[in-house]
Amino acid sequence: MTTAFVLTAALMLLAALAILLLPLLRGRAAAPSAAKRRALDDALAAGVITAEEHLVKLSALEQQATAAMPPRTHAAFNSALAILLLLPAAAIGLYTQLGNVKAMDPATMAAAAAMNGAPGPDMDAAVKGLADKLALNPDDVEGWMLLGRAYKSMERFTEARDALKNAYDRARENRDVQVDYAEALALASTGRRIEGQARELLEAVLKAEPDHQRGLWLLGIADYQQQRYAQATAHWERLRTLLPPESDARGSLDRQIADARQRAGLDETTAAPVAAVENTPAAPPATAEVPAKNDSTIALNVEVSLAPALRDRAPAGASVFVFARAAAGPPMPLAVQRLTLADLPAKVVLTEAMGMLPNMKLSQFPQVVVGARISASGNAKAQSGDLQKLSAPVAVDSKTPVTLVIDEVVP
């Protein structure tokens, strides 16, 4: 509960007490006689007395009424004392029982914003408050999980990875921690691919808990990225059996299964291989220089360089993100490649294999905006002070190289 909330509540309680107690403590003043007031008004209207005389006589009537005010009784004093003691106790008791005493807690605010998928009115402050609390209590695994998810919702993937590593270091056998950390490792990596340690973590989870739903979903994405479409189909079909019939996720999952089955050459009557964690080597992932072999064979050639005027503003070791997003559609990148400042100038080929989600592909959008951003913080999301360049909308199947000279500063 924040200091501001406590002070506001206290002031509201004091105001309520004042409204109730002052009349009891002062007694009730008698109102001026209605007949005398009416007589004064009539005299003023008839011109018998002036406005000044009217005010003087009316003031005298009110003073007489005040002088006639009855003295404060013992019963009134007892009532005031009862209100003074009982009202604050009752208000606090009711709020404790019916209110949300943690609503203003930084951790709760960060959780609410993360669950809603969008920053709240002061998301940055809430996340900072949670980070400060964890600095004092670093063994709070749930707190690190909450912080990592909040960072992911803000697309601050490097910080999400670091926060979730703190959770993983303290709870290595927790399946949910393993899955969240694996996802964060992929989101913070070059190309956002689920491979290496991220894949190993997911495989370990499914060996111990074969029906872990998020584990099945993410391992299916990993296989899809590596063009192991039959294995992706198997993981997602197993996941489908675990979802309730009324689940909203079923429709989207069915589309991914149909896409993976088609790419694997499986017809409707052919069963996908049993989903299992295997030790067989995965197919080599597509690189930035070799387009992924898929039905659309989309390959956006991008030439990236930094304008000489901004060289002094680009910190050494900064990350460079080259990406494509829909010209009219969701802002999430459809393909992304991560470089370093030392790589510039560079030539990059953006392909469908560089997307994070199989249901968000370059081929689904006729036009894309291609961009390049230099990030000192290493975060994929644009921040004030980053250097960038965005292209005009280009056809997604264009074979003409897109030239990007980074010459703008993010405000």
The separation between the first and the last C-alpha atoms of the chain, rounded to the nearest angstrom, is 34
Quote the CA–CA distance of 226 and 238 in Å, as a whole number: 19
The β-bridge relationship of strands 335-340 and 319-326 is antiparallel
Quote the CA–CA distance of 46 and 266 in Å, as a whole number: 103
Q: What is the pLDDT of residue 95?
A: 54
Q: What angle do CA 283, 286, 290 make, to 5 degrees?
A: 135
Residue 301, φ and ψ in degrees, nearest 5: -85, 125
pLDDT at 66 over 70: no
Q: What is the pLDDT of residue 119?
A: 46
Quote the CA–CA distance of 149 and 176 in Å, as a whole number: 12
pTM, full prediction: 0.49
pLDDT at 41 over 80: no
Give 95 or 381, the one with higher predicted confidence.
381
pLDDT at 130 over 90: no
Give 175 or 68, the one with higher predicted confidence.
175
C-beta atoms surrounding 290 within 10 Å: 13
Q: What is the pLDDT of residue 301?
A: 93
Average pLDDT of span 152-161: 85
Average pLDDT of span 306-332: 86
Average pLDDT of span 281-297: 40
Q: What angle do CA 173, 189, 283 make, to 5 degrees?
A: 85
Quote the CA–CA distance of 69 and 65 in Å, as a whole number: 7
Q: What is the pLDDT of residue 364?
A: 82
Quote the CA–CA distance of 122 and 113 in Å, as a whole number: 9
pLDDT at 290 over 80: no
Average pLDDT of span 46-58: 62
Are 209 and 175 in contact by the 8 Å Cβ rule? The answer is yes
Q: If you average pLDDT over every residue of the chain, what do you get?
A: 75
Closest CA to 31 of 72, 4, 69: 69
Residue 360, φ and ψ in degrees, nearest 5: -130, 90
Establish how many alpha carbons lie within 13 A of residue 299's alpha carbon, considering only the half-sphere containing its beta carbon: 16
pLDDT digits (tens, 9 = 90+) for 237-248: 999 898 887 777
Give 132 or 115, the one with higher predicted confidence.
132
Measured CA to CA in angstroms, residue 297 lies from 62, 227, 313, 327, 369 at distances of 93, 14, 37, 20, 18
Q: Give the confidence band of 288 by pLDDT, cuts at 50, 70, 90.
A: very low
pLDDT at 162 over 90: yes
Q: What is the pLDDT of residue 300?
A: 92
Q: For a pLDDT cut of 90, what percent of the chain falls above it?
A: 25
Q: What is the pLDDT of residue 235?
A: 92
pLDDT at 161 over 50: yes
pLDDT at 18 over 80: no
pLDDT digits (tens, 9 = 90+) for 72-122: 555 655 665 665 566 566 665 555 554 444 444 555 555 544 444 444 445
Q: For a pLDDT cut of 70, what percent of the chain falls above it?
A: 61
Structure tokens at 329: 């559609």
pLDDT at 406 over 90: yes
Q: What is the pLDDT of residue 306?
A: 94
Exposure string over 193-229, b if 16+ CB within 10 A, otherwise e: bbbeebbebbbbbbeeeeebebbbbbbbbbbbbbbbb
Are 300 and 349 in contact by the 8 Å Cβ rule? The answer is yes
pLDDT digits (tens, 9 = 90+) for 193-232: 899 999 999 999 999 999 999 899 999 999 988 888 899 8
Q: What is the pLDDT of residue 203?
A: 94
